[in-house]
């Protein structure tokens, strides 16, 4: 699988014909890697519960060995098509938290995510840190992205993740009023840092648990390299991959 990923990358960079779901495009210049938020589940929360102090979701209380892969930012040329190919090849659904400005620039990639059976969530329009904005701008950032993404799904978007994981009561409350469940993570590899694929894999595997939500990022090639080992490793432990919405649904049925 790793050889296949490398081959796909070479083909994309050379502009060669790719499988139907893989765009023929050049590798873009990405912005400097953002810092992963230092947040984990709140200190005074019970990790066996679904919700944090403001009603945000960190993981789902379930006895089923279900787990959700989530990818923040994007979509990106080069990265997103190869990432989708790995997921498709492994028959793994995922949840993508999409930045509106990127969706506006690369709408065909959002369409591919949706057509592949993966789920999309709201990651604001401009990827601003919401805790530093006035209320009306928080509303605008979430609402504008939601309206754009709804064009691809034909139905309202229900999941929201604030950029950089930065949040407070106001951010979660506004998202709720706009119809969103605010979703964070129980398992983060810190994959925006310059770390090798095996470290990404080790971090994910160490924190994996039933009902877990794994945070990864769309624009990281080392993450794509690590993904086959993550999938194989979790499957070997008996995990089934589901979208965040399916995880929430199954958790409520327990």
Could you tell me which of 36, 95, 41, 84 has the C-alpha nearest to residue 209? 41
By the 8 A CB rule, do 149 and 122 touch?
Answer: yes
Strands (E) in 50-192, as ranges, are 66-72, 95-98, 119-122, 159-160, 181-182, 187-188
Known active-site residue 127: no
Known active-site residue 217: yes
Task: Give the whole-angstrom CA distance, residue 235 versus residue 241.
Answer: 8
Report the SS3 class of residue 79. helix
Q: Of the listed 85, 127, 164, 217, which one is catalytic? A: 217
Q: Residue 87: left if φ>0, alpha if ψ -120 to 50, beta else—which one?
A: alpha
Task: Give the whole-angstrom CA distance, residue 69 versus residue 179.
Answer: 22
Q: Of the listed 72, 118, 145, 229, which one is catalytic? A: 72
User: Could you please report the per-residue DSSP string of 187-204?
Assistant: EE--TTSS--HHHHHHHH
Just list the catalytic residues. 72, 217
């Amino acid at each position: 699988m790793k050889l296949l990923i490398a081959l796909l990358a070479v083909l994309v960079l050379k502009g060669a014909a790719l499988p139907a779901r893989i765009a023929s495009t050049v590798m873009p210049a990405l912005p400097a890697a953002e810092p992963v938020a230092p947040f984990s589940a709140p200190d005074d929360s019970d990790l066996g519960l679904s919700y944090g102090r403001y009603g945000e979701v960190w993981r789902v209380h379930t006895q089923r060995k279900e787990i959700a892969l989530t990818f923040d930012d994007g979509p990106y040329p080069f990265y997103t098509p190869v990432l989708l190919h790995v997921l498709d090849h492994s028959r793994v659904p995922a949840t993508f938290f999409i930045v509106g400005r990127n969706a506006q620039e690369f709408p065909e990639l959002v369409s591919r995510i949706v057509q592949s059976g993966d789920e999309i969530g709201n990651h604001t329009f401009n990827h601003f840190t919401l805790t530093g904005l006035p209320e009306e701008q928080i509303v605008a950032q979430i609402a504008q992205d939601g309206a754009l993404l709804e064009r691809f799904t034909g139905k309202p978007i229900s999941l929201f993740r604030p950029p950089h994981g930065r949040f407070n009561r106001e951010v979660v409350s506004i998202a709720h009023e706009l119809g969103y469940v605010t979703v964070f993570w129980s398992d983060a590899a810190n994959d925006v840092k310059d770390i090798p694929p095996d470290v990404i894999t080790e971090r994910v595997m160490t924190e994996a648990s039933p009902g877990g939500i794994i945070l990864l990022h769309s624009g990281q090639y080392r993450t794509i390299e690590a993904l086959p080992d993550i999938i194989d490793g979790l499957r070997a432990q008996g995990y089934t991959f589901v979208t965040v919405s399916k995880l929430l649904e199954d958790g409520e049925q327990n």
